[in-house]
Amino acid sequence: MASGNNLAVEMKGITKRFPGVIANDRVDFELEKGEIHALLGENGAGKTTLMNCLYGFLNADEGEIFINNKKVEVTDPNVAINHGIGMVHQHFMLVPPFTVTENIVLGKEPTENNMIDYKTANQNVRDISKQYGLNVEPTAKVQDISVGMQQRVEILKALYRGADILILDEPTAVLTPQEVEELVKIMESLTDEGKSIIFITHKLKEVQSIADRVTVIRSGKLIDTVKTDTVTTNELANMMVGREVILEVEKEEANPGEVVLEVEDLYAKNDRDLMALNGTSFSVKRGEILGIAGVDGNGQTELTEVLTGLRKKEKGTIKFKGREITKPQTKRLFEEGISHIPEDRQKRGLIMEFKLYENLILGRHDRKPYASGLNLNNKKIKEEARRLIKEYDIRTPSETVQAKSLSGGNQQKLIIAREFDRKPDLLIAAQPTRGIDVGAIEYIHNSLIGQRDNNKAILLISLELDEILSLSDRVAVIYEGKIVDILDIEDATEEKLGLMMAGAESEEVKGGGQVG
Amino acid sequence: MVDKNISERKAKYLQKQRLVDLIVPIIAIIAGLIVGAIFMLIIGAEPIKAYIVLWNSSFGSLRGFGEMLVNTVPLIFTGLAVAFGFKIGLFNIGGDGQFLVSYLAAAYIGYMFQLPMYIHLPFALVAGIIAGGVWGGIAGYLKAKLGIHEVITTIMFNYIALHLVGYLVGGPLKAEGPLPATPKIFDTAKLPRFVPNMRIHYGIFLALAVAVLIYYILWKTTFGYEVRATGQNPDAAQFGGINVARNMVLAMFISGALAGLAGSTQALGLEYRAYQPFGFVGYGFTGIAVALVGKGHPVGVVLGALLFGVLSRGAMMMQSMVGVPKEVIEIIQAIIIMFIASEYIFKYLARKWRERKGGVADAS
């Protein structure tokens, strides 16, 4: 430190090989003390591998790691922890029935007479949460708190173990826009306290708004490390993907036809038996994309599930192609022409252990040409699978690998192939681009527009306001299970929608505009 | 391109995984035998001699081989029962109860009616299938409709079956005479024996045919597809329009029917009547081990059933011929099951070994 070298972490020439692939190829990486450093790259580019080498989950084949200017052999995570490194994984590693405090002190409990000293533990947790402005309730159970809160618990866990250098792996993937904002504040207060943060992401916008510097990795190779205020989002996208990326979606004027789906005064309960849809009404026409904007947890999930027969409605009417559906049943709805891209591809969309060809028939596995009578027609199924893989550009060695061996973007393409191939009249796309890389997002956006131009009705439910704004022809804002208002895309600005998403009536928004 | 590389690497890895699936049971068997040998040494027996007896008891003579197959028949059925349950994500521990109700049902039809064989035998088998199926299906229904865990219901139904069958055989259905058993079944209900002076009966062919049928159902029919989809990911199955609840009931019916076939073939092929049970025979329980060893695949189940058939036959012979208590075989069985259940350790060691080897190769 006296030397004037202000690096918290320095990784030199890191190479990590897996059988058949080089995940990291002589990558250099530096983290200055007190900075927020983004590590940007597409899925599979080698970001997480690099960080796993730093955290000791993996051992690099070549290269050196310096922590606070000292050369360290990070053979396992304990070494990293002892050197003040903490990692917050994308999928939290918490014990749901335990309290916040119990989770934080787990493995390092303060004890008195061999018993856990909960008083001290709770106090410790209160102290550090106060110090860094991370508000948590120490005695709440983790299963009862929001995802954003759980993430704070993970961060506190690392801090409790004395971390000065924090690695956050895709921390915003699971957060609502508000929670993202709060996370950014937390990250800033952490760096104010002298912590350094590495922040793994593939979202360009976040890099610009959160990080001081950014290191871009592509196909395992270091592309560059730059200050974020010296590059544009487009430049970053090009560095990340390696070719010109069009972030704006190009589309023609919509040409809407007759109403395909009409929802009126719909009520439905959520899993906790509370009313989640409180009289939702809207309609979708052929040849248009209706975007549903809103903060997570305002009834979007329940709406999708009711419309696809996965959840019971309490009351209200759903009309599809002019006919009222009194008892929505998944199978019937599919057969009548509704396709659905679910918001959670691993939970609902795919059977990860199943092979691609098996996944591609889910939902029509008992119909011709895939089945005759009780029997599956495996030959035909594989044939069709090969056609779809080609048509939808799914990158895979063959149709006989398991779905879990594909990257996130290709998994999503697999679902899209299956759902589009049904030739639906209505397509319900819930979070169609969550957690996938830019290249695949571009592809999916263009295919949604393509379906629209093909005279399909599309209901797009997304938490990404950008996505709503760039794809939709009309935007409905949902708040506490009710549609606040439906705007034409020309009238929908980010500010207006933002206010409405927070519950302001459309009139107030307009009125506010006049006064301001 | 990178995408492709990664997928290929993963595909290769998955192929390797399949190899591990084969190797693990073999290593487990060897480990079980070694540990068994250690125990024998401790109690002063001669393991090599004992193992020769073990081998010869099943493979040394035609009679021995036949007797081993007699042991194997019920295990194929109960193994398939557990494996089929696994496939839809349910754990059928109720094999013993399903065994017993079918055992009695088949015997009852066997002695109550006088019919030509081509009607009588199928009738008795079907009765057994329905009895076991209903016994398992109830657990499936309770799980699907009320969310009651199938492990609990199937265990409880074991006791209900044990005492119900015990009461019926000891009371209302008891034959005259001192024996606590039903009357003998008519010849027309018997599964024929096909080697003179040996007990091995057509049940073995029935078992193999049913194994093939189960394979066919699971991988070649839409129902099997739905069963596997539900087992792997019930949410996605539901999303795909699959009626999860109905399939659970149906799958548990089939699972119960399979365990039931173990009981019916025992009554119709071997004992020719139903005896009052003293306790659980344990076929259902061993079926869990068989399904584990067989990795839930019908072919694996058949092989696993053979393994346990050999071991249980060997246990008797080792005791009578070289004085090794049959409990040693139980220890060996336990070790094998434990090793297979802790397959994770093998995979971990294999990965470490590969990583080290990979590291050395890189350095050179």
Measured in whole angstroms, how far is the alpha carbon of residue A391 from the centre of its chain?
26
How does strand A85-88 pair with strand A111-112? unpaired
Contacts of B236 in chain A (CB under 8 A): 347-351, 362
Give DSSP secondary structure letters for A170-214: STTTT--HHHHHHHHHHHHHHHHTT-EEEEEE--HHHHHHH-SEE
Element (H, E) at A428: strand A426-430
Q: Is A235 helix (H, G, I), strand (E, B) or coil?
A: helix
Contacts of A347 in chain B (CB under 8 A): 233, 235-236
Interfacial A residues in 163-202 facing B (CB < 8 Å): none
Q: Nearest Cα to B50, choosing from B292, B259, B297, B320?
A: B320
Q: What average pLDDT score do residues B27-56 get?
A: 88
Q: What is the pLDDT of residue A346?
A: 82
Q: What is the pLDDT of residue A93?
A: 85
Question: Tokens at residue B224, please?
Answer: 């099997």
DSSP B267: I
**Do B32 and B335 contact (CB within 8 A), yes or no?**
yes
DSSP bridge pairs for A39: A200, A215
Q: What is the pLDDT of residue A251?
A: 82
How does strand A111-112 pair with strand A115-116? antiparallel
Contacts of A371 in chain B (CB under 8 A): 222
Residue B361 has pLDDT above 60, yes or no: no
Residue B172 has pLDDT above 60, yes or no: yes
Whether residues A397 and B11 touch (CB distance < 8 A) is answered with yes
Give the Cα-Cα-Cα angle A76, A78, A83 (nearest 5 degrees): 105
Contacts within 8 Å (CB) and 24+ apart, B136-139: B136/B81, B136/B92, B136/B94, B136/B98, B136/B252, B136/B253, B136/B254, B136/B255, B136/B256, B136/B257, B136/B259, B136/B260, B137/B249, B137/B250, B137/B252, B137/B253, B137/B256, B139/B92, B139/B94, B139/B252, B139/B256
Alpha helices in B203-278 (DSSP H): 203-220, 222-232, 234-239, 244-265
Q: Is A396 on the interface with B (CB under 8 A)?
A: yes
Residue B22 has pLDDT above 80, yes or no: no
Q: What is the pLDDT of residue B15?
A: 65
Residue of chain B minimizing CA distance to A61: B359
Whether residues B220 and A348 touch (CB distance < 8 A) is answered with no
Distance CA B182, CA B175 (A): 5
Distance CA B237, CA B243 (A): 8
Residue B73 has pLDDT above 90, yes or no: yes
**Do A51 and A90 contact (CB within 8 A), yes or no?**
no
Contacts of A19 in chain B (CB under 8 A): 9, 12-13, 358
Whether residues A308 and B238 touch (CB distance < 8 A) is answered with no
Contacts of B241 in chain A (CB under 8 A): 309, 329-331, 334, 363
Whether residues B7 and A406 touch (CB distance < 8 A) is answered with yes
Residue B1 has pLDDT above 50, yes or no: no
Q: What is the pLDDT of residue B215?
A: 96
Q: What is the pLDDT of residue B360?
A: 40
- Each residue's pLDDT tens digit, A356-393: 999 999 988 988 889 988 899 999 999 999 999 999 88
Residue type (1 letter), B147: G
Whether residues A410 and B3 touch (CB distance < 8 A) is answered with yes
Whether residues B7 and A44 touch (CB distance < 8 A) is answered with no
Q: What is the pLDDT of residue B3?
A: 47
- Each residue's pLDDT tens digit, B330-353: 888 888 888 877 766 666 776 677
Full-model pTM: 0.76
Q: What is the pLDDT of residue B324?
A: 84
Interfacial A residues in 210-229 facing B (CB < 8 Å): 219-220
State which residues of chain A have pLDDT below 50: 1-4, 511-516
Q: What is the pLDDT of residue A244?
A: 65
Calculate what percentage of chain B has a pLDDT beyond 70.
Answer: 89
Domains delineated in chain A? 7-241 (3.40.50.300), 259-348+422-515 (3.40.50.300)
- Each residue's pLDDT tens digit, B186-220: 999 999 999 888 999 999 999 999 999 999 999 99
Whether residues A19 and B8 touch (CB distance < 8 A) is answered with no
| Higher-confidence position of A420 and B26 | A420
Distance CA A438, CA A456 (A): 25
Distance CA A452, CA A256 (A): 9
